Structure 1
Amino acid sequence: MVHLDGSRGPDPDPETVVTGPSRSSGPAGHRAQAATMGGQRPAVSVVVPRRSRRGTGPHRRSRTPLCRWWPRRGSARRRTPARAASTGPCWRAGAPLRAAWRPAPRRAHPSPRGGRVRGRGARGRQARVVGGVRDDRSSDPTSSRGVSVTGSAYGRRRSVPGPTVTADHSRPEGSLRSGAVGMGLRTWRIAEVLTVATVPRWVRAVLWFGLFAVVAYVGSWLLAGWLRAGYDPRQQAISELFELGAPATSRGPVVAGLLVSGVAFLLLAPALHRALPGEGLLGPALVVLAGIGTLGVVAAPCSPGCPGAETTPFDLWHTIAAGTGYTALVLAPLAFAWRVRHAEPVFARWSAAIGGTAALLFAVYVLDLVAAAPGLQQRVFNTLADAWYVVAAVWILWRDTRARSHEAAGQRRR
């Protein structure tokens, strides 16, 4: 057992935890205790539990006096006798003294947002940690075995020698944060932190093409509705702009916009699957289905007035393709929100809000719960669903730009 004064003694009863006086007592309380104990400073024994209260693994007793170094949110403050006499040795008010070293959990923390951390180890080595799934295997603060991590977000595993990296384990994804790289009582600051991995060039090109496709599609039905005489966008559907027998001034722009957006959806599916963290193919599959439905609508235009599925075979195929494409279009944001809920909580909340609102408005439109302005209802939920692809593309491109700037800055420093 390590006492506060650095001496050692027999282990007390495992059920006993001795705490010091609270902060409310102040220096007077410490002087009173010292007087009652013959003028000597009381030695407070500390019992470190064998298992963590959070169930993350066993605690290890530190071999150094616990009051000499006391970590406080990324920094270590030296406990001098004057500070101990004024604020209490190492405890908070009424709380037992905690262990100075807590090993990292032995379970892996998934963090698909790859990153790299550079810091100097005990022998001057450069430690490189490429993020993915982080799993600390070193439970000894004086060890130099380093950490074992997954090399990327796609499953490659590697062991990296070097210092232990302080991580924020309160976050479910266990992503690395800017902090201290320490070995025992020696501490180094992280020189470079990059928590986002860059995406390939083809992904960036597809995302830019997706942005162009959304703008082109929305602009096409706006332009076609303005050019066609007698067309009421509040009461008439978008499909009536390229129906059988429609003039070329309205049919041409809408067909071009639909073709561009359909191809963009087919290309965005693998790009989003590559760029966004998490696992699962539901989101990319829905994006592919939305692209197929969009191209199917172009292949089977409705008859004049779009009377419904029971009129002609073209109307039946048009209704099936439009319904399938719209359903997949509004459900894809919800699928991706569930996929990235741990790694990108902010983006997941935005995706859930946009997708949920679009799905609700689509249900109101299909069930004909509101009879007023059906054309306006269609345009609102369609544009809102398309807006998610804009948000996703901007989010990924912004994150990639930030990652590339950090990487360039690190290369300049080297």
Structure 2
Amino acid sequence: MLQARDERTLLRCGTAGAVLFVAAFLIIGSVRAGYDPLRHPVSSLSIGSFGWTQAVNFCISGVLVTSFAFGVRSVLLRLGGDWWIPGLVIAVGVGLIGAGFFTTDPINGYPPGAEEVTTATGVLHQLFSAGVFLGLPAASWMLGRLFWATEHPWWAGYCFLTAVAFLAGFVLAALGFGGMPDFQPYAGLYQRITLGIGFGWLLLISLFLRSARFSRAFNVRTRTS
């Protein structure tokens, strides 16, 4: 069992990781020449001479989210939880790290003039990204079940809604990146909304799990040793 100070530090990593990831890709995307945030995916920011900035964002955010998962595990141990929820959060963190190490292939016209071919590196990027886009809604749904079982319907409803909205946004983005004309011009926007939903959930959960309100609501005893 972690000491209370260590647990809170790990939970703060969730806040930092969520804020850093979203803020960084919004800033980087707003200043990248030839890049259209409405059309192009976040991963495309890793392509090119300044792609290292987004790659670093992926990796640092992934380390923070992975660290957060161990704080979640410590909290859930006291609630009788298991490894499923923190394991899914770890999948998100590892997915971010892998996405940082393996650059995606050109897609949807970015970089301008680049040939859109499939490479082994691009495939690995997609595989690691699956950990993010599947792990986040799964973790949200599982935590919603825990909140529902412990008779906290508001938080349960928020988690369930997050999972459904995230998956819906993911489908819209996938249709756009898959080349469907009606969705392609706004595929990047759909993806950003989806990521905002998912990482917003991470942010709020990380704040809630270390709040006094959470301790009172779940009768979680604060450890001093």
TM-score in same-fold range (> 0.5):
yes
Q: CA deviation at 1:333?
A: 0.5
2:210 equivalent in structure 1: 397
Q: CA deviation at 1:281?
A: 2.4
Q: Write the mapping of 1:113-132 to structure 2, written as runs, cut at 5 A.
A: none
2:33 equivalent in structure 1: 229
Cα distance in structure 1, aligned partners of 2:64 and 2:167: 21
2:62 equivalent in structure 1: 262
Q: Please state whether the residue corresponding to 1:279 is helix, strand or coil.
A: coil
Q: CA deviation at 1:386?
A: 0.6
Pair 315,258 (structure 1): closer, same or farther in 2 beyond 3 Å: same
1:352 equivalent in structure 2: 160
User: Does the 8 A contact of 1:308 with 1:316 survive in 2?
Assistant: no
Q: Which amino acid aligns with 1:345?
A: P
Computed over aligned residues only, the root mean square deviation of the Cα atoms, in angstroms, reads 2.6
Match of 1:375 among 180, 188, 199: 188
Q: Which amino acid aligns with 1:221?
A: F
1:204 lines up with 2:8 in the alignment: yes
Provide, for residues 258-307 of structure 1, a one-character-per-residue CA deviation record: whole Å limited to 9, x for no partner: 11221122112221122243423221111111111111111110234479
Cα distance in structure 2, aligned partners of 1:366 and 1:274: 35
Task: Using structure 1 for the length normalisation, give the TM-score.
Answer: 0.45
1:215 equivalent in structure 2: 19
Percent identity, aligned pairs only, is: 21
Cα distance in structure 2, aligned partners of 1:294 and 1:377: 19
Structure with the higher strand share, 1 or 2: 1
Pair 234,367 (structure 1): closer, same or farther in 2 beyond 3 Å: closer
Q: CA deviation at 1:310?
A: 6.2
1:317 lines up with 2:130 in the alignment: no
User: Does the 8 A contact of 2:70 with 2:86 survive in 1?
Assistant: yes
Q: Please state whether the residue corresponding to 2:34 is helix, strand or coil.
A: coil
2:221 equivalent in structure 1: none
1:299 equivalent in structure 2: 101
Provide, for residues 19-46 of structure 1, a one-character-per-residue CA deviation record: whole Å limited to 9, x for no partner: xxxxxxxxxxxxxxxxxxxxxxxxxxxx
Pair 361,308 (structure 1): closer, same or farther in 2 beyond 3 Å: farther
Match of 1:326 among 133, 142, 162: 133
Q: Which amino acid aligns with 1:362?
A: F
Moved over 6 A (4+): 306-310
Task: Using structure 2 for the length normalisation, give the TM-score.
Answer: 0.79
User: Does the 8 A contact of 2:173 with 2:188 survive in 1?
Assistant: no
Pair 332,310 (structure 1): closer, same or farther in 2 beyond 3 Å: farther
User: Does the 8 A contact of 1:283 with 1:336 survive in 2?
Assistant: yes
1:387 equivalent in structure 2: 200
Q: Tell which has more relative contact order, 1 or 2 (C-alpha 8 A, sep 6+).
A: 2
Q: How many residues align?
A: 202
Q: CA deviation at 1:401?
A: 8.2
Q: Unaligned regions of 5+ residues in structure 2, if any? A: 217-225
Cα distance in structure 2, aligned partners of 1:255 and 1:355: 26
2:71 equivalent in structure 1: 271
Q: CA deviation at 1:388?
A: 0.8
Cα distance in structure 1, aligned partners of 2:172 and 2:28: 26
Cα distance in structure 2, aligned partners of 1:273 and 1:316: 31
Cα distance in structure 2, aligned partners of 1:227 and 1:298: 19
Q: CA deviation at 1:228?
A: 1.3
2:219 equivalent in structure 1: none
2:43 equivalent in structure 1: 239
Q: CA deviation at 1:379?
A: 0.6
User: Does the 8 A contact of 1:293 with 1:321 survive in 2?
Assistant: yes
User: Does the 8 A contact of 2:102 with 2:125 survive in 1?
Assistant: yes
Structure with the higher helix share, 1 or 2: 2
